[in-house]
Amino acid sequence: MPLAGLPERGTMLIAALLILALLFAGSWIYTYVQPGANPWALMPWFGIAALVILVVALVAYLFGTSSNRGA
């Protein structure tokens, strides 16, 4: 029975998003404690990074090769 997808792909996606979330939280706190800083300015940068991770994962899922194809 062929596998639907490699489990490593989902694990890598979750790991990348968790690391991004940790970086965002650290950047938010660091920016928030600085006088006169605007932590909301971080949102577009991290939002775009999250979208890039998701798009790359989707493309890898859709066009990825598997050893079970063609069998």
On whether the pTM is more than 0.85, the answer is no
Share of the chain above pLDDT 90, in %: 55
The mean pLDDT value for 42-63 works out to: 91
The CA-CA-CA angle for residues 42, 46, 50, to 5°, reads 165
Q: Which residue has the higher pLDDT, 70 or 38?
A: 38
- At residue 1, the pLDDT reads 45
The mean pLDDT value for 24-38 works out to: 93
